[in-house]
Amino acid sequence: MKEIALFLGQGLFILLVSPLVNGVIKKTKARMQNRVGPPLWQPYLDIIKFLRREAVTSVNTSWLTSITPYICLSAYLVAGGIIPLAGKQILALGDIIAFIYLFALARFFLALASLESGGSFGGMGSSREMMIATLVEPVLALGLFGLVALAGTTDLAGIRGAGSNPAGILALIGLMVVIIAETGRVPVDNPDTHLELTMVHEGMLLEYSGRQLGWLHLAAVIKETVLLILLIHLFFPANPSWPLILILISLIVKIMVLGVVLALIESVNAKMRLFRLPELMAGGAAICLLSILINSLNGL
């Protein structure tokens, strides 16, 4: 019973904190561009506004479009719930592999739903998203499995802090590249525009509106936060013997710091051409591989 309460609490925590993370990133970016920027709580207001609006969908769509926002949201939340923030594993829900594949679940349905309206933009976004996924997933797997091999388990509680070693810095950089691509940030994708040349994630959401769009925006910010939490869990974990409240506060602080870093990276880079992405990913893969090599040489 206590486990379920913990799980629900963790889910609620992620649900509530993630718009704030998005707000911090947006604020930082605005500051870097010499703008005042929206207030930190603006994402909350946006999402609530969307949720109160009626959804308009294309006549071509079916139940798939209607159900996709809920699937995405749930998949990301469960992925967040798998990470044992409070020490030990909450419920036996899954491990790092399930984590990766939950993201695939959400992506699969979103890519399908964006094809449904029969417009060009949805298809474009969907096609590009799947292409990026084929580049991102192997590198993500490389980075994560390197740590898994080091820890000797795929269990997320078992790989807490697996990256807190010298070679871990390399893995961190590699995974950072992956996460930028996965969350659709510059230089891979620009989350702020609806320009046909750049859009990937936004293209997929183009035909969504109102309530459904609100859920999908929420899902997107949750995804971002969950990935950051995973990084923190792997590289900068809090001491599990601390009281819960302290862990949470330190977690929030760390997420915010990482969010600021993301925003800085985004601000100093330009959007990359879509087909130069393999080079970026290859770089990420090389860094991850290097980290694995160093670790395995140390281990033997």
Show contacts with another protein in window 120-149 (CB under 8 A): 120, 122-124, 126-128, 130-131, 133-138, 140-142, 145-146, 148-149
**Sign of the Cα pseudo-torsion (181, 187, 237, 28, in order):** negative
Among residue numbers 248 through 287, which ones bind another protein (CB under 8 A)? 274-275, 277-278
Asked if residue 299 lies in contact with residue 150, where contact means CB atoms within 8 angstroms, the answer is yes
Binding part of the chain for another protein, among 89-97, 181-189, 245-253, 256-264 by CB under 8 A, reads: 89-97
Among residue numbers 155 through 194, which ones bind another protein (CB under 8 A)? none
Q: Candidates 10, 29, 80, 116: give the one binding another protein (CB under 8 A).
A: 116
| In the complex, minimum distance from the CB of residue 211 to another protein, in angstroms, rounded to a whole number | 6
Among residue numbers 9 through 38, which ones bind another protein (CB under 8 A)? 11
When asked if residue 44 is in the footprint of another protein (CB under 8 A), the reply is no
Give the three-class secondary structure for 165: coil
Binding part of the chain for another protein, among 87-95, 182-190, 237-245, 250-258 by CB under 8 A, reads: 87-95
The CB density around residue 175, as the number of other CB atoms within 10 Å, is 29
When asked if residue 86 is in the footprint of another protein (CB under 8 A), the reply is no
Distance between CA atoms of residues 44 and 193, nearest Å: 20
Q: Candidates 31, 32, 66, 165: give the one binding another protein (CB under 8 A).
A: 66
Distance between CA atoms of residues 179 and 201, nearest Å: 14
Residues 195-224: x where in contact with another protein by CB under 8 A, - otherwise, as a string: ------------x---xx--x---------
Size of the site for another protein (CB under 8 A): 84
Q: Candidates 42, 57, 165, 250: give the one binding another protein (CB under 8 A).
A: 57
**Sign of the Cα pseudo-torsion (89, 91, 97, 99, in order):** negative
Distance between CA atoms of residues 293 and 103, nearest Å: 27
Q: Round the CA-based radius of gyration of the chain to a whole number and report it.
A: 19
Nearer to another protein, 56 or 244 (CB): 56
Distance between CA atoms of residues 21 and 33, nearest Å: 19
**Token pair 């500051």 is at which residue?**
31
Asked if residue 211 lies in contact with residue 54, where contact means CB atoms within 8 angstroms, the answer is yes
Instruction: DSSP letter for 151, please.
Output: H
| In the complex, minimum distance from the CB of residue 222 to another protein, in angstroms, rounded to a whole number | 12
Q: Candidates 88, 118, 192, 253: give the one binding another protein (CB under 8 A).
A: 118
Nearer to another protein, 24 or 116 (CB): 116
Nearer to another protein, 37 or 138 (CB): 138
One-character DSSP codes across 129-149: HHHHHHHHHHHHHHHHHHHHH
